[in-house]
Structure 1
Amino acid sequence: MGKIVGAALVSHHPGLFQTEEFRVKMGNGTDSDLIRGFRRVREQIEAVKPDLVVLFDTHWFTTGFHLIDGGEHYHGTYISDEMPWYLYGQQYDYHGSPEFARLVETVAVERNVFSKGVFDETLPRHYATINVVNALVRGEKVVTVSTCQNCQPRHYLESGAVIGEAIARSDARVVLLASGALSHKFNEIDWVQKNPRIYHEENVSRPENIARDKEAIALFKEGRHDLILDQWDEKFRPLPWEGFGGHYLQMVGALGGKTCRSKGVALSDYENARGTGNIHMWFATE
């Protein structure tokens, strides 16, 4: 019987994959704490010894279905069409799990949930996957899950629950990675930096977004995912979170939805990236 042995909310923003010299310059002499945070997250992953990572990708937008990549092997060189001057030459090489994608499909059919596997290894990659895989994966298989854009919050929770059941029916030890920011309102192109350290929270786009992000982080630490979900439409959805919050909602859906009490531990500072709120948080499940 398979099990979820850990979960994390992690940032994937492109600034983290620039040279250290560049990052330190942008940090007014100090590197982003998210860099050290990646090492802290990796330590947690190594401690629970997974053989499969399920990654919820806020950049893989799909329509009509929650998709699960079921290719055997993904490898190549990535360049971002969003910012090709800034994120390019990313080498990636990792293995997937077609058998797990098929198991997700089986559970989805049983539950009448719109989830489908894609088994073509030429399926394009997105940096919300590539950046996190390169930062955190060391030989584990990786299955990426899309963010279906014509969904309500309940649909993401249902998708996550399907994945949770598929994990239980498998023989895998699984870590869930929700790849994305919290609040995701970009600063304007001609925005004037408020704090000389670009990563500083003062550079997040709106004071109210900072406040809501910190409220969510406090609830994460208490394991009160039920309160986040109860207040989702009122407090968190309007910000909005990256990818409609689909990465978090699918992760917590796999962990039991409102019944989930996994307490979060912050493994980085809360930081800005082009106006968005970013943090690494680990959720113990055992």
Structure 2
Amino acid sequence: MGEIVMAAKVTHVPTMVMSELDGPLKGVRQSAIDGHRELGRRAREAGADTFVVLDTHWLVNAAYHINANHHFEGMFTSHEFPQFIKDMPYAYDGNAALGDLIAETARANDVYTLSHQVDSLDLEYGTLVPMRYMNMDHDESLKVVSVAAMCTVHSLAQSRRLGASIAEAIRKSDSKVALIASGSLSHQIWPNDIYAENNGTFTISSKFNEVVDRRVLELWQNGEHELFLEMLPDYAKYCDGEGDMHDTIMLYGALGWDQYKGKAEVITEYFPSSGTGQTNVFFPL
């Protein structure tokens, strides 16, 4: 019998990769990288064999989709930010059986979901950046399944049901899963014409967004999840939640929605990046 053994909400900002390289940004995202590495350590400590990543950089326009290939390997350059992430190598085994089971379970719960094993279907950097730090600095990598979470025509209720279906499928499997919601908090990127003059890489574009982000972190740390879920639709709308925060909705769906009572732990202190609000947060089970 499988189980979710770890859960987290994490950043995937491209400046984490740039932070590794010689240049003006070297070291600037070390705390975020360290947070990912700590979450990777905790996943292994908990006995995880698979990361399931809810990826707000994988955009889908019809159905829910799961990249459940048997193996992932390649060289990634971001179409969105080719100046930030380019020629980044990756190699991971997948968990095709789990991906297929998630899709089958979701469809049985009236959530139309497809699982794919297609070699030319690349992973997006919402998966690849967290996996770079959680899942590469080890002798043996955990398996990876990626779930599309930039959902353009999908209701919050359907994403909640997909999250519950993910948990149900995991229980029916033999997999021990670290579930990762990969996306920012607020996500109002600086307009291009004023990005540079506001030192955009290191600043927030809206103080209102920052205040709400920080209040959300307090709610999570205090275990006030029912109140957070009541405000979540407005939060996603008015604070420009990344991917309408479908990753967060799926995460809570998998954790039991308002029945989840854990007090979250902030692993990486809140930081602004290109106008957006970022952090790494551990949700105890």
State the TM-score, normalized to the length of structure 2.
Answer: 0.92
Tell me the distance in 2 between the aligned counterparts of 1:224 and 1:35. 28
Equivalent in the alignment of 2:220: 220
Shift of 1:257: 1.1
Shift of 1:182: 0.5
Displacement after TM superposition at 1:125 (Å): 2.0
| Residue pairs, 1:145-224, within 5 angstroms | 145-147=147-149, 148-189=151-192, 190-191=194-195, 198-199=201-202, 203-224=203-224
Distance 1:96-1:20 versus aligned 2 partners, 3 A rule: closer
Contact 2:15/2:25 (<8 A) preserved: no
Separation in structure 2 between the aligned mates of residue 171 and residue 80 of structure 1, nearest angstrom: 34
Unaligned residue ranges in structure 1 (runs of 5+) = none
Paired residues in the alignment total 279
Q: CA deviation at 1:234?
A: 3.0
Report what 2:262 is aligned to.
262
What's the Cα RMSD here? 1.9
Contact kept in structure 2, 1:26 and 1:198, CA below 8 Å = no
Q: Distance in 2 between matches of 1:7 and 1:235?
A: 21
One-letter identity of the residue aligned with 1:40: E
Provide the rounded CA distance (Å) in 2 between the counterparts of 1:106 and 1:34. 35
Unaligned runs of 5+ residues in structure 2 are none
**Is the 1:183–1:209 contact (alpha carbons within 8 Å) kept by the matching residues of 2?**
yes
1:121 positional shift = 2.1
Match of 1:37 among 30, 35, 38: 35
Q: Secondary structure at the match of 2:72?
A: strand
Q: How far has the Cα of 1:191 moved from its partner?
A: 2.9
| Alpha carbons of structure 1 residues 178 and 80: separation in structure 2 relative to 1, 3 Å | same
SS of 1:124's equivalent?
coil
Q: Aligned AA for 1:105? A: A
Which secondary structure does the structure 1 equivalent of 2:108 belong to?
helix
Counterpart amino acid of 1:225? Answer: H
Q: Does 1:277 align with 2:270?
A: no
What SS is found at the alignment partner of 2:269? Answer: coil
Contact 2:263 2:284 (C-alpha < 8 Å) held by counterparts:
yes
Partners of 1:193 and 1:220 in 2: CA distance: 34
Distance 1:224 1:121, change over 3 A: farther
Give the residue type in structure 1 aligned to 2:157.
R
Alpha-carbon shift at residue 192 of structure 1 (Å): 5.0
Matches of 2:247 and 2:114, distance apart in 1: 17
Residues 18 and 25, structure 2, Cα contact 8 Å, conserved in 1: no
Q: By how many angstroms is 1:63 displaced?
A: 1.7
Seq. identity, %: 28
Divergent runs of 4+, >6 A: none
Cα distance in 2 for partners of 1:5, 1:238 equals 33
* Structure-2 separation of matches of 1:60 and 1:131: 13
